[in-house]
Structure 1
Amino acid sequence: MSPITPPDPVDSDAAHLASLGYESEFKRDMSPWANFSLGFTYLSPVVGVYSLFAYALASGGPPMIWSFVIVGLGQLLVALVFSEVVAQFPVAGGVYPWARRLWGRRWAWMTGWIYLIALMCTIASVVYGAGPYIATTFGFTPTVNTTIVCSLAILALATLINFLGTRVLAAAAVIGFSAEIIGALAVGGWLLVSHRHHNLGVLFDSFGSQGSHSYLWAFAAAGLIGVYQYYGFEACGDVAEEVPDPGRLIPKAMRRTIYIGGAAATFVCLALVLSVADIPAVIAGRDVDPVTTLLDSAFGSVGSKIVLAVVLLSFLSCAMSLQAAASRLAFSYGRDDMIMGSRLLRKFSDARHVPPYALLLAAVLPALIVIGSKVSTDALAKVISFAAVGIYLGFQMVVLAALRARLKGWQPSGKYRLGKWGLPINIAALAYGVLAIVNMCWPRTPGVPWYDNYIVPLSAVVVVGAGLLYMAVHRSYGRSDAPYDDAIPKPAQGPARAEPEPSKF
């Protein structure tokens, strides 16, 4: 009797995808480790902490570090909801196809629109933020022109890596993760061993950062360092068609991104807080760049440049992962014929197994945003201000769609399920997300013109309004015949009843 050959997991993945209405052109070359690394480098604890440490410490003092714990728990709830969805619908593109299956076409279109614009702004902000670090590393004075050139160079390198295909992207993600985690542990460990000025008790001392107000308001402002840190785990699902056994492996990668990325970010922040010699100087604004001050003091000129080289690699890895997520989302839009230019966006390179025009879009739009700083750095800051709140809006539109689907009878059927905990976790994830969005939108600069004080909610209104206008003028979402609204079970119809009209949402 001949032995029974077990089913090929790749064939079963293709069969599952076919049952969802798609035949993938991607190659499943991304290992579980590489998938996790992609999410980790998108989350990038080094980029997040180094970019916002000065602001957070000045706004709320050392207790701002507790925001990493609070936000980490909140985003873990969101990741658990996403895990159930991606396990059932492992389709490239992330939040857009998830919202499409949970709710419908129009809801999915707006979810993807908000998230895509936010990703483009985030790519621009990451590569632009790398400019000053490049200047410090190579010893020249950063100007607007040099920052633009450096930003475009980082962006071009990230685009090249993405164009080389899934296997190269996966390898680059693993290299980026390894360098960042080793760098974070080495730098943080050295600071704690040789340059620590405070004990753990300082984590409960605000140093008067709240002024005459309640510390709750100061902590909410400083806590944005945590709010801005914990996204990136969704990138693991954006490449669902490039991972074998995605229904089982991607939920694991998402949770690991939260656990390991959050722990790394908290450790880096802890090392910096305990090593800053003059915290009151940071709060008073006398030391506006405590990270550079600390690195120069702890490592010297040569050592600090080595650390900065690791930081630059983190910026590159982060931009690369963001581009991968944005391109898969744009490709998913194009494949479903949901947006103007779909014929180009859905084109696929058989040689590289990547969507070339979707990748170009994820390079050209951020480049234009960066070049716009030549006209007005202030305008660039206003555009980028939408990045984080847009990503959170995209997240919560999926969380809300999942909650609505549950209440209408959706029973998750993927390889990862929350069971009886699904509904309470979904509700808690939505409540957390709404509070985080309110915190990001809260006006905190009364001394500036009103439109600057309310720039975050205003930018969200502009993006949503532009999306609604597009939907009214160019009804491409209505032409798409790809599957939608199929998570919710449809009631059986008797022979005498007319067939219900398809959902328009």
Structure 2
Amino acid sequence: MPPSHATDRWTSARHGLPKAYGSTDLIVLGVGVMIGAGIFSLAGRQAATMAGPGVILSFMIAGITSLLVAFCFAELASAMPTSGSAYTFTYVIFGEVWAWIVGWALLLELLLAVATVARAWSLYAAQMLTDLGVSLSGPLTGMVGKEEGFDLFALFILVALTAVVALGARIGLRALWIIVIAKLLAVGAVIVIGATHFDQRNLAAIPVPATPATGDADTLHSPLLGIVFGQTGAFGWFGIFAASAAITFAYIGFDVVATAAEESEDAPRSIPKGIIRGLILTTVVYIAVALVMVGMTPYNKIDPSAPLANAFRQAGEGFMVHIINIGAVLGLTTVILVLLVGLTRVMFSMARDGLIPRSLSTINRSYHSPTRVTLLIGGLAILLAEFVPVLTLEPLVVIGALFVFVTVAGGVIRMRRTMPDLPRGFRTPLSPGVPIASIAACLWLMVNLQVVTWLYFIIWMSFGVLVYLMYGRRNSVLAGARPVAELPAVVPPDSGFRGRHRR
């Protein structure tokens, strides 16, 4: 499918998205989704259980891997500035079947992430109230801050943010700016005050790789790479790489920025800047917090359940616990908000192509937003969060994202060969070296995920193939269910829109 077909055919009032984001807004969008509560817990948890002080290297490895992939996303988004991100890129470059597979992986990544983060939001909100001395009595006691079962807080945040997204991008953007600024102030306080208690001797305590006793290794819950090489313990280089795979969850979200391309001003240039600058800022902040965490407390004395909070308590800075709780709640709020926006745009694009019901691609005339698909996504996220133990399925988000990253990197290589003259607002440096390195790094992180994660992922993707064969293939635009000629277009393919952005 030609790129102009993807970018120009859906600009009518019924199916087009209005402009809402400037270049700075896109950076805030990326920071909003990448910096969540994990910034206060992930480094400590991985240091205590998997990598020791080497967790700093783990963050660097995950950050560099994400940056390599971000370059690839930036090029494709600059060439095809339309809603749908990796799904649309794959549709143009590899065709409908592979696009469906990538879209299905995106649904796994983003929908499960929304439900998981909503559960985490409830846990942090309940802890924040407890630390502030607010007691929840009566029927509320067993209905908030739970890891499984019905949770009122998770329901509340999903209903509230689904409503915000349904009301339009501009309303959500205003809320996002306010919350992102507030949570960055909280993170800054953690870094500055934590640095005053930094002890470099804690970085020198290198743990000895741990190997489980014979017969104790759990094959399903061991890294795939560890099974191949016979190393299933924590710490050492295997521990550092295993932690990198888990930490990748923290960086997931820069790809969501690409889903806003259709709604962005000067998208061929602003989207690459938003993706790359947002990711670099996030990486620096994460590494700074990781340094503070392992510098404040020896890795073998870190409490994985609340690492930073307990570290500040031991340092005599008890008031920082409230800052951390507030920052975590604010951080998770923006993560859910941006994930909902991204998932809405992916499903919106799939509906426009007929792979899921086309009625979901209708734009609400009052709010200028795809309200139908937004409400559907909110409902699915609520069902997942309330009835599925999503906190145990976090690695599925990672493997889904890494699978998409591999496809996007491969798409850059193929597009350079098949569409060399296509105008781009950004070009991946040192291509094909960077895309190849991206693929290798993502595959390396994937094989460091647990065997059970791979099994669940294979089951999900197999189910997706069945859904495509039973519905998508028969109802897609390319199958002739709705001829493309019937679809109005405001911007004709030869209007010169792309030519103005040629480098």
TM-score (norm 2): 0.81
C-alpha separation between the residues in 2 aligned to 1:313 and 1:382?
Answer: 23
Q: 1:312 deviation in Å?
A: 0.3
C-alpha separation between the residues in 1 aligned to 2:245 and 2:105?
Answer: 20
C-alpha separation between the residues in 1 aligned to 2:7 and 2:471?
Answer: 30
Aligned residues: 442
C-alpha separation between the residues in 2 aligned to 1:68 and 1:154?
Answer: 29
Deviations 1:136-189 (A, max 9, x none): 111158977313211122222222221231112222222232122221111111
Counterpart residue number, 1:23:
11
C-alpha separation between the residues in 1 aligned to 2:20 and 2:105?
Answer: 29
C-alpha separation between the residues in 2 aligned to 1:372 and 1:299?
Answer: 40
Specify whether residues 315 and 355 from structure 1 end up closer, same or farther in structure 2 by C-alpha distance, changes over 3 A only: same
Letter of the 1:458 counterpart: L
Q: 1:400 deviation in Å?
A: 2.1
Counterpart residue number, 1:367:
382
Counterpart residue number, 2:299:
279
Deviations 1:389-442 (A, max 9, x none): 1111122222223323334454442121247x22221111111111111112xx
Q: 449, 455, 459: which one pairs with 1:458? A: 455
Q: 1:297 deviation in Å?
A: 4.1
Specify whether residues 20 and 187 from structure 1 end up closer, same or farther in structure 2 by C-alpha distance, changes over 3 A only: same
Letter of the 1:436 counterpart: L
Counterpart residue number, 2:344:
327
5+ long unaligned stretches in structure 1: 1-14, 444-453, 484-505
Query: How much is the aligned-residue C-alpha RMSD, in angstroms?
Result: 2.6
Alignment of 1:147-186 (within 5 A): 147=145, 148-186=151-189
CA contact (8 A) 2:86 2:404 kept: yes
Deviations 1:311-355 (A, max 9, x none): 10111011000000000111111111111x331x11211221111
Letter of the 2:129 counterpart: F
Q: 1:192 deviation in Å?
A: 0.9
Q: Tell me if 1:206 matches 2:206.
A: yes
C-alpha separation between the residues in 2 aligned to 1:204 and 1:59?
Answer: 16
3-state SS of 1:328 partner: helix
Specify whether residues 85 and 309 from structure 1 end up closer, same or farther in structure 2 by C-alpha distance, changes over 3 A only: same
Counterpart residue number, 2:500:
none
CA contact (8 A) 1:56 1:225 kept: no
C-alpha separation between the residues in 2 aligned to 1:187 and 1:248?
Answer: 34
Counterpart residue number, 2:469:
472
Q: 1:206 deviation in Å?
A: 2.4
CA contact (8 A) 1:76 1:258 kept: yes
C-alpha separation between the residues in 2 aligned to 1:143 and 1:56?
Answer: 33
C-alpha separation between the residues in 2 aligned to 1:68 and 1:143?
Answer: 37
Letter of the 1:280 counterpart: N
Q: Tell me if 1:86 matches 2:83.
A: no
Specify whether residues 18 and 385 from structure 1 end up closer, same or farther in structure 2 by C-alpha distance, changes over 3 A only: closer
Q: 1:44 deviation in Å?
A: 1.2
Letter of the 2:10 counterpart: Y
Q: Tell me if 1:68 matches 2:59.
A: yes
Counterpart residue number, 1:396:
406
Deviations 1:433-458 (A, max 9, x none): 11111112xx4xxxxxxxxxx32101
Deviations 1:272-305 (A, max 9, x none): 11112x53233xxx76432331244457555422
CA contact (8 A) 2:93 2:411 kept: yes
Q: 1:382 deviation in Å?
A: 4.7
Q: Tell me if 1:261 matches 2:282.
A: yes
Counterpart residue number, 2:100:
109
3-state SS of 1:130 partner: helix
3-state SS of 1:269 partner: helix
C-alpha separation between the residues in 2 aligned to 1:390 and 1:234?
Answer: 12
Deviations 1:34-53 (A, max 9, x none): 11111111111543452463
Q: 1:460 deviation in Å?
A: 0.6
C-alpha separation between the residues in 1 aligned to 2:475 and 2:307?
Answer: 52
C-alpha separation between the residues in 2 aligned to 1:366 and 1:384?
Answer: 14
Q: 89, 105, 118: which one pairs with 1:98? A: 89
Q: Which moved more, 1:205-214 or 1:90-99?
A: 205-214
Counterpart residue number, 1:215:
236
Deviations 1:84-137 (A, max 9, x none): 111110011211111111111111111011111221100111111122211111
5+ long unaligned stretches in structure 2: 146-150, 213-232, 485-503
C-alpha separation between the residues in 2 aligned to 1:328 and 1:204?
Answer: 46
C-alpha separation between the residues in 1 aligned to 2:404 and 2:460?
Answer: 12
Deviations 1:354-398 (A, max 9, x none): 11111112211111111114xxx4xx3454441111111122222
3-state SS of 1:26 partner: coil
Alignment of 1:100-499 (within 5 A): 100-139=91-130, 140=135, 145-147=143-145, 148-193=151-196, 195-196=197-198, 198-199=199-200, 202-208=202-208, 210=210, 215-276=236-297, 278-282=298-302, 288-298=305-315, 302-339=319-356, 341-343=357-359, 345-373=360-388, 377=389, 380-408=390-418, 410-418=420-428, 421-440=430-449, 443=450, 454-476=451-473, 479-481=476-478
Specify whether residues 329 and 143 from structure 1 end up closer, same or farther in structure 2 by C-alpha distance, changes over 3 A only: farther
Specify whether residues 206 and 115 from structure 1 end up closer, same or farther in structure 2 by C-alpha distance, changes over 3 A only: same
C-alpha separation between the residues in 1 aligned to 2:41 and 2:65?
Answer: 22
C-alpha separation between the residues in 2 aligned to 1:409 and 1:17?
Answer: 14
Q: Which moved more, 1:303-312 or 1:45-54?
A: 45-54
Letter of the 1:106 counterpart: V
CA contact (8 A) 1:124 1:384 kept: no
C-alpha separation between the residues in 2 aligned to 1:112 and 1:144?
Answer: 37
Q: 1:26 deviation in Å?
A: 1.9
